[in-house]
A and B are shown apart, each in its own frame.
Chain A
Amino acid sequence: MNDSPVIEMRGVAKSFGSKAVLRGLDMSVSAGQTFALLGRNGAGKTTAIRTLLGLLKPDAGEIRVLGLDPAHAPLEVRRRVGYVAEDQTMFGWMRVGQLMSFIAPFYPTWDATWARELSERFELPQKTRMKHLSKGQQVRVALLLALAHRPQLVVLDDPTLGLDPIMRKEFLRDLVTYLQGERVTVFFSSHLLYEVEPVADAVVILDHGRVVRQAATEDLRASVKRLVAGTEGAEVLRGLPGLLDFSDHGRQVSAVVQDIASARPVLANAGIAAQEIDLNLDEIFEAYVIGRTKERPDAKPDLERVA
């Protein structure tokens, strides 16, 4: 497989009127990865995805999707990418089979056999109208349509939005089974971190239209740590490189750093004994997007996790 990134964004900016939504976005997605775009509501996830597909023109910056510029070749990009939009509304009057027949001619690589197979696997009733399907079935139809033309890249914009927890799990199970197994590059946005964690190879954290961190999920977990020390270590913790969050809890202080390897020598030199606590993706995300580097009296530490 070609080593060049499947998605590359460099300095992408997009504003709607006076509101800047993307502010110099940089990211790179390698082939075969399952890549999660994380951000709070309004962080710019959907805007970033729409620029990738050529549905929005960026004000500045460069984008390459499968080697193509979506601003200049939007149709070619969309032919080669499977896309499930956020809260996608399909044509309610169409039956599932009709919808498949309607969509197929737009994709030269549409594989009717594969589409039928997916339909059976997803247990989709061919003769039921879209408006009579459950939300979960509608999402599966959208996923089927995104996959049936055997795309090299699948872009899913918060695909589990509106599904109940069991349906979300089932959807992600399908995602893992059918996409990762096929070596398809998956780029998906979500704000449900506990769902992303088991399936994402790499994540990018978006905040106010900027990438605050892009890393492999494992690397992120290995490098971002919470440090807990006595109050005598407060000043040292506050001065740590890559500090994301700092909290004073009375008898203890805690800090979240983005690179534990560079924090350790500083602590050792200062003679501070700090406990390192592993963080899950949810906590890492929180540290990046709402972490504060000054004293926060209301903060509640996760002291139960202190070994």
Chain B
Amino acid sequence: MPSLIWKEWHEQSWKLGFGCVVLVAMAVIGLRSRIIADDSMIAWVCFLGMVLLPVLSASGLVPAERSEGSFASLLALPVSRWRILAAKTAMGLVLCAGPMIAAALGSLLVAGGREMTSAQMLALYARSTASGILLFIWMLALTIRLPNETRASLLGIGVLIFWIVATLGLAYQSVPPLAMTVSPLALVYGFFNDIAGGPPLIGVLAAQIAIAIVSWWWASRQIAAEDRS
């Protein structure tokens, strides 16, 4: 397993650096220049991270390796496929969370307690990071059998657009508030808008973790069945 993680780190670490540079630069420059209110600036940074990082991670982990041809070599090693997926998932989580954590620290240093309290700022980053991770799991499960990074990215963007539109639809008054718990964006939506009569944060989190586990299990089933059936 450490060997697999070492490999993933070497292959994906440039994305971590890229994500950190983009988000930290956006947060620091945006907050220092004060072109818009702090909460709006941070919301934009969070939105960018939530959109960019899961697509970048999910498309680069399996489909990119498949298109390079080395994925077959990886599957032929004496290592279980769930370990391969676990290493890739761990790297994906780092890619989704790392730049957000860096941006959160940068934001705290530049504007912590200025217009937003530090706790509010961290809460928004935490919810956005969680939503990004949940989107990543969705994208991982849906793109794992795709043959290349381009198709995976397009599907990832499709998933993203679907959930943005669906979340707005689920928030409609005629839809029971409980339905909102299926959306990976519910955590962020709930930060800005009260979901009257909806489940508490802990309930949304529990539902989302359950969905993520099922999605990951489905992804592992797909990778286990690959070429074997």
Q: Give me 6 other A-B pairs in contact (C-beta within 8 A), A89-B68, A102-B7 excluded.
A: A50-B227, A55-B227, A57-B228, A75-B78, A91-B70, A106-B3
Q: What residues of chain B lie closer than 8 Å to A92, measured between beta carbons? A: 68, 70
B69 within 8 A of A: yes
Q: What residues of chain A lie closer than 8 Å to B79, measured between beta carbons? A: 75, 106
Binds B, one of A78-86, A173-181, A197-205, A262-270: A78-86
A93–B9 Cα distance when bound, in Å, is 12
Report if A105-B76 is in contact (Cβ < 8 Å); known contacts: A50-B227, A91-B70: no
A74–B76 Cα distance when bound, in Å, is 10
B10 within 8 A of A: yes
**Is B72 within 8 A of A78, CB to CB?**
no
A140–B78 Cα distance when bound, in Å, is 20
**Is B77 within 8 A of A78, CB to CB?**
yes
Partner of A55, one of B3, B10, B228: B228
A107 within 8 A of B: yes
- What is B's interface to A at a CB cutoff of 8 Å? 2-3, 6-7, 10-11, 68-70, 72-73, 75-80, 227-229
A50–B227 Cα distance when bound, in Å, is 9
Q: What residues of chain B lie closer than 8 Å to A76, measured between beta carbons? A: 78
**Is B78 within 8 A of A78, CB to CB?**
yes
Q: Which B residue's beta carbon lies closest to that of A92?
A: B68
Q: What residues of chain B lie closer than 8 Å to A50, measured between beta carbons? A: 227
A184 within 8 A of B: no
A110–B20 Cα distance when bound, in Å, is 38
**Is B6 within 8 A of A102, CB to CB?**
yes
**Is A105 within 8 A of B78, CB to CB?**
no
Q: What residues of chain B lie closer than 8 Å to A83, measured between beta carbons? A: 76
A91–B3 Cα distance when bound, in Å, is 13
Q: What residues of chain B lie closer than 8 Å to A107, measured between beta carbons? A: 78
Q: Which B residue's beta carbon lies closest to that of A77?
A: B78
Tell me the A65-99 residues at the B interface (CB within 8 Å): 75-76, 78-79, 83, 85, 88-94
Q: What residues of chain A lie closer than 8 Å to B69, measured between beta carbons? A: 89
Partner of B76, one of A57, A78, A91: A78
